Amino acid sequence: MPGDEHTAHAVGNSGVHVVSTPHLIGFLEMACHYNIVALLEPGEATVGTRVEVEHVGAALPGRALECRSRLEACDGRKLMFSVRATQDGREIMRGRHERAVVNLDRFLQKLEEATGARLRR
């Protein structure tokens, strides 16, 4: 359930006390991830690669938000989902989201090499 920390106000849009677009996108990304996580092989993870959404209604903090995803296509390691968020029966956001299946160790190693950051523990 989104809280006050998920509002546009909380991320700097003063006075706008509705769930922010970035937070809604994050909730939809997680719906996609949870949709297929049980199908991943050990050592695999998914990462978001593309988001195409329309924010068509306002969502209030403190009220249940339903985020749904449906796997529409799979092209190798690329997964394409349709996504939809609703609250109190009203559509809030809809669109598409793509994720890629990655080998987590290889993904983190490449990022460490590119940035000098230590990400694997």
Q: CATH number for the domain including 79?
A: 3.10.129.10
Quick one: 27 exposed, middle or buried, by C-beta within 10 A (0-12, 13-18, 19+)? buried
Any domain includes 29? yes
Q: Quick one: average pLDDT of 11-29?
A: 97
**Structural domain count, the chain:** 1
| Segment (H or E) for 21 | helix 21-36
State residue 65's pLDDT score: 97
pLDDT band at 40; cut points 50, 70, 90: very high
**Mean model confidence pLDDT for the chain:** 96
What counts of helices (H) and strands (E) characterise the chain? Answer: 2, 4
Confidence band for 121, pLDDT divided at 50, 70 and 90 = low
What are 11-18's contacts with CB under 8 Å, separation 24+? 17/61, 18/58, 18/59, 18/60, 18/61
pTM over 0.85: yes
Q: What is the pLDDT of residue 59?
A: 98
Residue 121 lies in a domain: no
Instruction: Supply the range of the domain harboring residue 64.
Output: 4-115
More confident residue, 68 or 120: 68
Any domain includes 94? yes
